[in-house]
């Protein structure tokens, strides 16, 4: 019985709107009464042939296969989810994709190269999955690609004539597996591959035809040399090559699987990145400061791929009057390891502001700054009266950890630094060396005896206790008299108490700010007096058992 508006399927899906009617059935919008009346798509198969004839039976099988395919592909964002299948009534209920199909979008404007590459990058992975599962879509065209308006993602719809490879006869010609469907050819003229069989390559031809139509506005049926000239004007050569190989009528020159196309797209994107970096490098020498500054900011987006810019960026920093807080430093951080040798040399620069920023930048690069270890060790002796250079250098060594073990003697010397923050981070760095820093035990114990203890938490004292624990000293043997409640605790208990109290105080401050409707701004620079714990609290609670 044909569905009509107002009908309800299985007391759950209520038909509210008819979308379209074709040779094989009708498509409706329905409400799911058990899901807050959320909307879905209902497809009812209507047999256009004699039910008992071969073609009639094949048409029924195609509809049944669509439900199976949707079930197999459940969870892939580029395919609508199957919600229900009623075999006796020949009804499929599937996810409704809110948005327009690409043919609707084409009516407004043709696509550009970026949009075409984005389409390929989104649809090729799902075609790869479909083909690996032995499924051909066989009707890829702009009408069957929807753009989800909620997230902008493309969704491949209408698997109604998709075919399983297992149902096809297979033979080999010119080392290419050719699969001939037992059913009659189905598809859309112009988008359908010229060969009389289905394969991954035939779906790729349809995808190429779709791209051609979206890019030029010409229906693929009218693809000729003149229309390809338009393609050449719209896209760069690598993209043109990909499209021609997709849309090749000659099977032997066409892509044979989705992965081949994806590899060429990745290579094209890499080439574009290289070209963009080269262009930005040329702007670093621009006389107009605006162009130069924009190029510096844009290079940061390319990360390590912009490493060729490092020497030029360093030269910019050497210019008289160049601001020390320049975005050059951020770009060097993004470049990462490749910029480390240049930054290491800046640690000896005569300008204090340059040395400070170089040390700070290396600290942000962190574990990748291993090439700077000898320079960082020398920076421990920097004359910076505020101690910033020494501070950042010690922090960086702590982040690098054991690979910087040669810094242990210099770290021990920093335990006598005039700046408490430097001493605290030197202790943290020694703890990161583990039992390799055993020689530091006696000096750390001496240092702790000289540090003033208070229950608010002396950062050097806390860092010293945790460093001893990380090195392998039994801190449960150390007794501490609390000035707050006169209680005697082990060093481990005391550190845990101080850290827990600090977290509690921070939480109460947040809650108080929230209650007042205020926003609590929490800023803590890397040189914070409160060094990070050597272990997380659960690990630190473990009693020494060696």
Mean pLDDT of the chain: 85
Q: What is the CATH number of domain 99-272?
A: 1.10.510.10
- Tens of pLDDT along 354-377? 999 999 999 999 999 999 999 999
Sheet strands (E) in 324-395: none
The arithmetic mean of pLDDT across residues 199-204, rounded, is 92
pLDDT recorded at residue 65: 81
Closest by alpha carbon to 473, among 434, 447, 428?
434
Q: How confident is the model at residue 292 (pLDDT cuts 50, 70, 90)?
A: confident
H helices within 133-257, ranges in order? 200-216, 225-234, 237-246
Pairing of strands 479-481, 488-490: antiparallel
Task: Kindly calculate the radius of gyration of the chain based on its CA atoms and give it in whole angstroms.
Answer: 34
Quote the percentage of the chain above a pLDDT of 90. Answer: 49
Q: For 159-190, what is each residue's pLDDT tens digit?
A: 766 555 544 444 333 334 443 333 334 568 88
- Per-residue pLDDT band for 51 (boundaries 50, 70, 90) equals confident
Q: From CA 299, how far away is CA 332, in angstroms rounded?
A: 9
Q: How far apart are the first and last CA of the chain?
A: 80
Reported as a single tens digit per residue, the pLDDT across 301-354 is 888 989 999 999 998 888 766 666 678 999 999 999 999 999 999 999 999 999
Give the CATH number of domain 8-95: 3.30.200.20
**Out of 35-49, 178-192, 207-221, 430-444, which region has the weakest mean confidence (pLDDT)?**
178-192
Looking at residue 536, its pLDDT comes to 78
pLDDT band of residue 457 (cuts 50, 70, 90) is low
Domain spans of the chain?
8-95, 99-272, 284-400, 408-546
Listed in sequence order, the residues at least 6 apart from 327 whose beta carbon sits closer than 8 Å to its beta carbon are: 293, 296, 297, 300
| Beta strand residue intervals within 3-134, DSSP E | 8-9, 13-22, 25-32, 38-45, 82-86, 91-95, 99-101
**What CATH class is the domain 284-400?**
mainly alpha
143: confidence class by pLDDT, cuts 50, 70, 90: very high
Q: What are the angstrom distances between the C-alpha of 338 and each of 319, 335, 465, 492? A: 22, 6, 36, 41
Look-up of token digits 């189905």: 186
CA distances from 414 to 366, 373, 418, 424, 426 (A): 20, 16, 9, 9, 6
pLDDT of 383 higher than 80: yes
What is the mean pLDDT of the segment spanning 441-460? 78
**Burial status of residue 493 (CB atoms within 10 A of its CB: 0-12, 13-18, 19 or more):** middle
Three-state SS at 322: coil
What is the pLDDT confidence band of residue 544, given thresholds at 50, 70 and 90? low
429 Cβ contact list (under 8 Å, min separation 6): 394, 395, 397, 398, 404, 407, 411
Q: How confident is the model at residue 223 (pLDDT cuts 50, 70, 90)?
A: confident
Q: What is the pLDDT of residue 22?
A: 65
With residue 269 as reference, give the H or E element that holds it.
Answer: helix 258-283
Is the per-residue pLDDT at 70 higher than 50?
yes
Q: How far is CA 151 from the centre of its chain?
A: 16
H/E stretch holding 154: strand 154-156
Q: What is the average per-residue pLDDT within 46-62? A: 80
Cβ–Cβ under 8 Å, residues 452 and 420: no
């Amino acid at each position: 019985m044909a569905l009509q508006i107002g009908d309800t399927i299985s007391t759950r899906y209520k038909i509210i709107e008819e979308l379209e009617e074709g040779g094989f059935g009708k498509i409706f919008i329905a409400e799911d009464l058990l899901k807050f009346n959320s909307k879905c798509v209902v497809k009812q198969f209507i047999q256009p042939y004699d039910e008992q004839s071969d073609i009639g039976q094949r048409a029924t099988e195609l509809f049944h296969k669509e439900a199976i395919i949707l079930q197999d592909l459940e969870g892939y964002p580029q395919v609508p989810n199957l919600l229900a299948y009623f075999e006796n009534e020949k009804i499929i209920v599937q996810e409704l994709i809110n948005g327009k199909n690409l043919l609707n979008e084409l009516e407004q404007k043709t696509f550009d190269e970026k949009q075409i590459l984005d389409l390929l990058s989104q649809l090729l992975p799902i075609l790869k999955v479909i083909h690996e599962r032995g499924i051909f879509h066989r009707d890829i065209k702009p009408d069957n690609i929807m753009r989800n308006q909620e997230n902008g993602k493309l969704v491949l719809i209408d698997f109604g004539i998709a075919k399983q490879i297992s149902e096809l006869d297979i033979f080999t010609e010119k080392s290419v597996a050719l699969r001939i469907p037992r059913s009659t050819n189905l598809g859309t003229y112009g988008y359908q591959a010229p060969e009389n069989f289905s394969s991954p390559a035939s779906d790729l031809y349809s995808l190429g035809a779709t791209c051609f139509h979206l890019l030029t506005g010409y229906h693929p049926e009218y693809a000729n040399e003149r229309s390809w000239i338009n393609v050449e004007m719209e896209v760069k050569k690598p993209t043109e090559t990909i499209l021609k190989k997709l849309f090749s009528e000659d099977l032997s020159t066409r892509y044979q699987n989705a992965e081949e196309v994806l590899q060429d797209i990745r290579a094209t994107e890499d080439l574009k990145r290289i070209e963009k970096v080269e262009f930005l490098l040329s702007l670093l020498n621009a006389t107009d400061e605006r162009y130069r500054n924009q190029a510096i900011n844009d290079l940061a987006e390319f990360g390590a791929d912009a490493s060729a810019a490092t020497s030029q960026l360093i030269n910019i920093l050497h210019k008289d009057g160049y601001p020390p807080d320049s975005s050059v430093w951020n770009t060097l951080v993004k470049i990462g390891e490749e910029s480390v040798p240049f930054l290491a040399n800046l640690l000896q620069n005569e300008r204090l502001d340059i040395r400070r920023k170089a040390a700070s930048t290396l600290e942000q690069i962190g574990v990748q700054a291993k090439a700077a270890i000898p320079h960082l060790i020398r920076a421990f002796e920097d004359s910076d009266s505020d101690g910033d250079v020494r501070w950042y250098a010690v922090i960086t060594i702590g982040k690098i950890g054991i690979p910087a073990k040669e810094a242990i003697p210099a770290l021990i010397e920093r335990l006598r630094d005039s700046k408490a923050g430097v001493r605290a981070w030197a202790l943290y760095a020694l703890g990161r060396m583990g039992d390799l820093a055993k020689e530091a035990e006696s000096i750390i114990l001496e240092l702790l005896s000289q540090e003033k203890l208070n229950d608010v938490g002396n950062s050097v004292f806390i860092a010293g206790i945790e460093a001893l624990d990380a090195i392998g000293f039994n801190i449960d043997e150390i007794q501490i008299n609390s000035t707050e409640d006169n209680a005697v605790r082990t060093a481990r208990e005391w550190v845990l108490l101080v850290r827990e109290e600090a977290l509690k105080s921070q939480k109460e401050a947040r809650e108080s700010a929230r209650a007042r409707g205020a926003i609590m701004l929490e800023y803590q620079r890397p040189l914070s007096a409160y060094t990070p714990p050597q272990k997380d609290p659960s690990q630190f609670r473990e009693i020494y058992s060696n």
